A and B are shown apart, each in its own frame.
Chain A
Amino acid sequence: GAVVSQHPSRVICKSGTSVKIECRSLDFQATTMFWYRQFPKKSLMLMATSNEGSKATYEQGVEKDKFLINHASLTLSTLTVTSAHPEDSSFYICSARGVGTREQYFGPGTRLTVT
């Protein structure tokens, strides 16, 4: 149980375009979802926390107008990278936490490359 999927697993886009990444909890309802960014040989950096039906809470230094997060249902959250730049190239990972639990279950990640 507790499976989280992400789509796409890998995406290449051109500078200036927008990219949407989906995160789904497959067998549980995720009241809270987290979006992380992981640089090579670096730790995970939390970008934002989203609760279903409410606005996401962004970490300091993360531009909310650039990284749009929508948590429209208890099984789906999306991250849209708007007007992508090469420096947005990274590994984006989502995680989900169910009702009344403290464990976060992670998706497999999405590799974004902006050319």
Chain B
Amino acid sequence: GEDVEQSLFLSVREGDSSVINCTYTDSSSTYLYWYKQEPGAGLQLLTYIFSNMDMKQDQRLTVLLNKKDKHLSLRIADTQTGDSAIYFCAESMTNAGNNRKLIWGLGTSLAVNP
């Protein structure tokens, strides 16, 4: 089945690291994504990782992938108040029309306290 799960809330202090976790069910997923949605705004692609990679780093963002456990995490170093948003994990699949589609988690609401 298609299922992506995330914890709903995370609260951290400014300057600390944030780790947002995600589990997925489809072992055939080739790409996994992290998107950010700020209040009243659209979705912004933060980063993605190919399924044959274990880790990807992009400035303050580190993505870790454990394919065996189907576990994906996003670490934000030196978290700032501007990082407060909802973070969505998504896995890619191919639908009936042979188009790639994204299966989404419910989103983790990150609150950064000064």
- A interface residues with partner B (beta carbon < 8 Å): 4, 32, 34, 41-46, 49, 51, 57, 59, 93, 95, 102-109
Contact = CB atoms under 8 A, between A and B. Distances in A.
Interface in B59-114: 88, 92, 95-97, 99-107
A102 B100 contact: yes
19 contacts: A32-B99, A34-B101, A43-B88, A43-B105, A43-B106, A44-B104, A45-B104, A46-B102, A46-B103, A49-B99, A57-B96, A57-B99, A59-B101, A102-B31, A102-B100, A106-B43, A106-B45, A108-B42, A109-B42
> Binding site of A, secondary structure by majority: helix, strand, loop or mixed?
strand
**Chain B interface size, under 10 / 10 to 19 / 20 to 34 / 35 or more:** 20 to 34
Given A57-B97, A102-B48, 10 more contacts: A44-B102, A49-B95, A49-B97, A49-B99, A57-B99, A59-B101, A102-B31, A106-B42, A107-B42, A109-B42
